A = this chain, B = another copy of it.
Amino acid sequence: MKQITGGVCAAQGFKAAGIHCGIRKNQSKRDLALIVSDCPASAAAVYTTNLVKGAPLLVTKAHLADGKAQAILCNSGNANTCNADGPQIAEEMCRLAAGPLGITPEDVVVASTGVIGQPLDLTPIAAGMAPLVADLSYANSLHAAMAIMTTDTLAKEVAVEFTLGGKTCHLGGIAKGSGMIHPNMATMLVFLTTDAAISSQMLHKALSTDVQSTFNMVSVDGDTSTNDMVAILANGLAGNTPVTEENQDFTVFIKALNTVTMQLCRMLAGDGEGATRLLECRVRGAADLATARTVAKAVICSSLVKAAMFGADANWGRVLCAIGYSGATVDVQKVDVSFASEAGRTAVCKDGAGIPFSEEYAKEILLKNEIEIQVDLHAGEAESTAWGCDLTYDYVKINGDYRT
């Protein structure tokens, strides 16, 4: 497994593009992204569990019923959600892209992100399609990654190289956060591409398994978005024997996928709205996986823990409090808590009670950009990690005045 560059263009036969078409007022912000495979690809996606679902998700779900797709079209600046004409608009977006690409609209995955409940005007998208298609290139992942950003401060791209049956394969992705991030069975917008040959059934199995331990363990603000989606295209151009069952190749593929998604999770959490710190809560010693996940997520979601981390305050009582109300069955008298970062590690709580520690050293640890909150439940072997970020003035600023 080797880290490589290239994002969604790392895999053979994938072009990408991203332009400013005019949905967003700020002309320096790209707002329309396109990812295209040279040939039809196996495709799978997972979606938000929010009952309010963006129109693009409904259209994409219908288009992926046959397990095939060839392009992904995504705009930022408007979520096309809670609009009476949303589904028609999303269908029309697919038609606008399919025409110049010479494919059928049903092979287009469509996504939108931005404000909810404002009509999405097709005019700039229609006018932008020609320059968007002209921008397509095998080295343009970054343009696409930029065009799907909303309040993100960094474009997010990852890719790896791996081997299936002697053939070199690639898998890469782009992602956007950075608020309304609390996925449940699916996530924010993440688009993945691979040149590995794999059936759409196995692709869906790989993706839906992977999100349980990756994107579903990320929370920026506890709000599960209406438009969350992770989609993956696999065009098979690597020439490997197609993966059609749970064999060793499938295990390798899962590992490649997990390597990419895990890094995207860290990027998403670390670039959460207003964040100054990436928080990683590592729970071990849990009686079972569900308990480990529940505890890790409760800690990451606690407003008080998040605010304490912003203040580099080793207020471990809030960690214990979050574990206590998480709903998980935990013997709180056995819980140990430590804080760690590249500056070191300090234990702060043992057997559910405080222990002496140096506040100065703890501060030094917590002033770093990536913080680990380590929890040991001493009740078993299960482990889980959740990712989040601190709660800052800028989160309030960004969300107190988002639409204007």
Where the two chains meet, the residues of A that have a C-beta atom closer than 8 Å to any C-beta of B are 48-53, 79, 81-84, 115-119, 179-180, 182, 184, 221-226, 301-304, 307-308, 310-311, 313, 315-318, 320-325, 330, 332, 349, 352-354, 391-393, 395-404
Contact = CB atoms under 8 A, between A and B. Distances in A.
9 contacts: A48-B325, A52-B320, A52-B323, A82-B354, A84-B353, A303-B399, A307-B400, A313-B400, A391-B399
A320 B391 contact: no
Contacts of A301: 222
A219 B311 CA distance: 23
Given A82-B353, A184-B325, A315 B403 contact: yes
A321 B352 contact: no
A402 B313 contact: yes
Nearest to A354: B117
Copies of this polypeptide in the complex: 2
Given A118-B354, A392-B396, A403 B313 contact: yes
Nearest to A222: B303
A324 B402 contact: no
A397 B396 CA distance: 11
A315 B304 CA distance: 25
A222 B326 CA distance: 11
Contacts of A321: 50, 52, 116, 180, 223-226
A207 to B, nearest CB: 21
Contacts of A223: 302-304, 318, 321-322, 325
